[in-house]
Amino acid sequence: MTSALDTLRRDFGGDLIEPGDAGYEAAARSRLVAGSPAYVLRPKTVADVQAAVRFASGSGLALSVRGGGHGFAGFGTNDGGIVIDLGALAGVEVVEGAAGVDGGTPAGGSAPVDGGARLVRIGGGATWGPVADALAPHGLAISSGDTKSVGVGGLTLSGGMGWKVRRYGLALDSLVAAQLVTADGAVVTASADEHPDLFWAIRGGGGNFGVVTSFEFVAHPTTRVFFGKVSFPAAEAAVVLQGWADYLRTAPEELTSIANLANPFAGGPEAPVEIHVAFDGDDADAADRALAPIRALGTVVADDVALTAYADVLVEGATPPPGVHVLAHDGLVDRESVAETLAILAEAGTTPGSPSIAVRSLGGAMSRVPGDATAYAHRQAELMVTTFTGGPAPAIEAARPALDALWDRLAPHLHGAYANFLSTADETDVTTVYPEPTYERLAAVKRRYDPSNLFARNHNVRPGRMS
């Protein structure tokens, strides 16, 4: 290890942080997990990433690769291992003169492309808030997540659901190329023309195949959106949720929506049902027509929808204090199970002691991509259900029985999972995220690019075959 560390110090031009160094505690921590790695490496160049990967490969230590560090499962740190923190690789560049984008379909991209679309190159350690701010002066945006501090890499590699999912699909659907450092330290480009097997795998297969140092996306013309929430009494939850889901099947694809059921505290007032909306564009008449059926779902008790700069739609996402944990589950709902699922959620979401519940509308552009076109396979789901419970470990354990009971009721009506909203990563989670044909294809790519499973701190696809 000493000679390997000496080699690293010689070849690595970034920051190497060890226990006892100034700033170690902050460097060791991901968003939800403190961690105590032996080394935190902060590369400044692609060559630094190569040196870091070679060091990790020969060390025998666990390796975490951190972008935004936002994942619920805490993959962005570890105990006693190595963390490669990509935060310094965060540039955003609008590529001038990129061919095949404006008004066309770039090779390998699966999102629809409007006139005025541009190619954008983004560093592997960027987060979505600064990306949105950098693109705003160009009148551009990417179908991304909904939180500023979420990493571009983690979100994109496992899917990328946000406020443009019905219009432009997942974040990975706007991806046209990526540069990676693979387990042997090589730099490769993955696109429709170069390493197409790897390009397929990184669009949904997570961080299983290497360290992505940069992404190339198609960015779409966007300046402002009508954004906010329309709230209804909790007593109307069942009717509102069902009507909302029915409408979203035929709603304009410019409209994406999330229904939130923030359960009331025991003995407190009933929380409203909140229908959050984002209508892409600044045409007030079109927005009013799109939102009228939502406003007609029940008794509106609050409505704060307003024209907003797209970059301001992304929320800050507060960092939880030390000792706070999050228990998150999610599942996907096909059309035939929508009514039963929403009936269960309407009851649970207004019951004291239940977790907070979010239901995301899907469909639209996302659903038109064939299920085998990328490693994200769950294209026909109409909704995604997510539950969240947060607090100190004793509070999490106290809440677990209610959460487990809810998911036992939901299980017959759900399929699959979205990796980015899971707080666990056992074998059952992995097989839920990836249907067997997808998993086997991912495993074949894994055998080619990471046969020793160096990149294992993720929803891990092993180089062997599914048992």
pLDDT per residue over 16-35, tens digit each? 999 999 999 999 999 888 89
- pLDDT surpasses 50 at 104: no
Q: How high is the pLDDT of residue 362? A: 97
Q: Where are the domains of the chain?
A: 2-85, 92-221, 224-427
Q: Strands 187-191 and 175-181: what pairing? A: antiparallel
| Assigned fold of 224-427 | Vanillyl-alcohol Oxidase; Chain A, domain 3 (3.40.462)
Q: What percent of the chain has pLDDT over 90?
A: 78
- In CATH terms, the fold of domain 92-221 is 3.30.465
How is domain 2-85 classified at the architecture level of CATH? Answer: 2-Layer Sandwich (3.30)
pLDDT for res 72 = 84
Looking at the predicted structure, is the pLDDT value of residue 115 above 90? no
Q: Which pLDDT belongs to residue 107? A: 46
User: Residue 99 — pLDDT band, cuts 50, 70, 90?
Assistant: very low
pLDDT of residue 105: 45
Answer with the residue of higher pLDDT: 192 or 396: 192
User: Is the confidence at residue 262, as pLDDT, over 80?
Assistant: no
Q: Does 106 have pLDDT greater than 60?
A: no
* pLDDT for the residue 267: 47
Confidence of residue 103 (pLDDT cuts 50, 70, 90): very low
Tell me what pLDDT residue 24 has: 98
- Give me the mean pLDDT over the 148-165 stretch: 96
Mean pLDDT of 171-200: 98
Which pTM was predicted? 0.94
Mean pLDDT to the nearest integer, 263-267: 52
Taking 60 as the threshold, does the pLDDT of residue 304 lie above it?
Answer: yes
Q: pLDDT tens for residues 22-81?
A: 999 999 999 888 899 999 999 999 999 999 999 999 999 999 999 999 888 889 999 999
